[in-house]
Amino acid sequence: MKKSIGPNTYLFPLPTVTVNVYDEEGNANMMTASWTGVVNSNPSMISVSLREATFTHDLIIQRKAFTVSIPSRKHILEMDFVGTESGKKVDKFLATGLTAVKSNLVDAPYVDEFPITLECELVKYEKLGLHTMFIAEVKDVKIDADYLDNKGLPDIKKLDPVSYAHGERAYYEIGSYVGKANKMWQSTLLNNTMLAGDKRDIVNLIHEYYNKLDESLPLSEFMDLINWNTFEMVNGDLIINSLDKYSNWYSDVVTSMFNKKHIIEKLTIEENSNGNHTVNMDMHFSANQWTPGHARSEDIIVLGKIKWQVSRHPETGQMRIDKYYIIEI
């Protein structure tokens, strides 16, 4: 049962950024802020809400510009310091050893050591109460090339940003990848096309198998999910075609891989002429893998295509895995 705790701004998570401006004498200043967000896509616009008492508040109005720099977790101490001291009294760039770089597009500096910066031109501002909301157009985004993915987009895992928990006033790391937006539901029973005929039972089989695999449940939990009379798992040169071989493979997986997570990116199910079904999956697999003799485990991410052949048990009617093929990509 939910409990009322009164009106407040409990949105989670909140970003943690620095808002950077020049003062009246042209000195670079920065402050830490979390009351910031996206307000428009085209043109690109963000908002930053600041208390009037902050040093930065009036400087944004005077300069009609600011930048927003996003620090990585490795700079959390400098970021926390910047959010504690006032630019009226302290040169924060000098105190932290961070470097101010003049934007070539707006009248504001940015933090060179922080991997990504949004250069913003003030569009409008409005006093809402304790805070004034500044709405600005993003004129450009500057990012260190090392923090881009293979598509040329910012890679959140490389950026390693920090979120802020309002109320407890604490910082948290960003969690791990959980799936593609607007895609995850399509491989579940929320997708009406997965409800027809045998597909519902096959989808349930898929999620039950991978949930148990990720949780490292005992081998006995898998006995009814696999047709051991016909089962064959093929992954490159690895061929598993008996319960004993599967047991040995599974034992190695349980002892060497931790925090396993299978995420189905795409799923298709086709009925074969014999009444059995072919399942094709695009899979995102991640884990911490430990190798004997090594002091630490390593993070692994594997993108692969998986094909199953499945059929019903002739007596129980339960869907089971007949064949399991893995192709890493």
Please tell me the predicted confidence (pLDDT) of residue 329.
Answer: 64
Asked if 310 and 247 sit in the same domain, the reply is: yes
| Other beta carbons within 10 Å of 9 | 11
Amino acid at 184: M
Q: What's 20's domain CATH number?
A: 2.30.110.10
Asked if 265 and 150 sit in the same domain, the reply is: no
CA 3 to chain centre: 30
- 140 contacts 159 by C-beta, under 8 angstroms: no
- Residue 328: pLDDT over 90: no
Q: What is the pLDDT of residues 243-297, one digit of tens each?
A: 999 999 999 999 999 999 999 999 999 999 998 999 999 999 999 998 888 888 8
> How many whole angstroms separate alpha carbon 204 and alpha carbon 247?
23
Asked if 167 and 194 sit in the same domain, the reply is: no
Amino acid at 204: N
**By CB neighbour count within 10 A (0-12 exposed, 13-18 middle, 19+ buried), where does 167 fall?**
exposed
Domain carrying residue 295: 184-328
Asked if 195 and 153 sit in the same domain, the reply is: no
Closest-CA residue to 62 (of 140, 125, 116): 125
Asked if 26 and 165 sit in the same domain, the reply is: yes
- Residue 91: pLDDT over 90: yes
Asked if 23 and 156 sit in the same domain, the reply is: yes
Task: Say which DSSP state 191 is in.
Answer: S
- Rounded CA Rg of the chain: 26
- Residue 235's DSSP bridge partners are 238, 326
Asked if 32 and 61 sit in the same domain, the reply is: yes
Does residue 315 fall inside a structural domain?
Answer: yes
Q: What is the pLDDT of residues 198-257, one digit of tens each?
A: 999 999 999 999 999 999 999 999 999 999 999 999 999 999 999 999 999 999 999 999
- What's the per-residue H, E or C state across 60-88? HHHHCEEEEEECCHHHHHHHHHHCCCCCC
Cis peptide before 292 (omega within 30 of 0): no
Last residue of a domain, one of 142, 173, 204: 173
Closest-CA residue to 206 (of 280, 288, 313, 302): 280
Asked if 154 and 41 sit in the same domain, the reply is: yes
Asked if 207 and 316 sit in the same domain, the reply is: yes
**By CB neighbour count within 10 A (0-12 exposed, 13-18 middle, 19+ buried), where does 25 fall?**
exposed
What mean pLDDT do residues 14-38 have? 97
**Percentage of the chain surpassing pLDDT 90?**
89
- Residue 34: pLDDT over 70: yes
Lowest mean pLDDT among 107-111, 131-135, 242-246, 299-303: 299-303
Q: Which helix (H) or strand (E) holds 324?
A: strand 319-328
- Residue 117: pLDDT over 90: yes
Does residue 8 fall inside a structural domain?
Answer: no
| Other beta carbons within 10 Å of 98 | 22
Does residue 128 fall inside a structural domain?
Answer: yes
Split into its structural domains, the chain has a count of 2
Does residue 6 fall inside a structural domain?
Answer: no
Q: What's 285's domain CATH number?
A: 3.10.450.50
Asked if 248 and 168 sit in the same domain, the reply is: no
Asked if 124 and 210 sit in the same domain, the reply is: no
- Residue 45's DSSP bridge partners are 40, 137
Task: Give the pair of three-digit tokens for residue 299.
Answer: 């993070």
pLDDT band at 195 (very low <50, low <70, confident <90, very high): confident
Cis peptide before 71 (omega within 30 of 0): no
Query: pTM for the complete prediction?
Result: 0.86
Asked if 245 and 297 sit in the same domain, the reply is: yes
> How many whole angstroms separate alpha carbon 38 and alpha carbon 11?
14
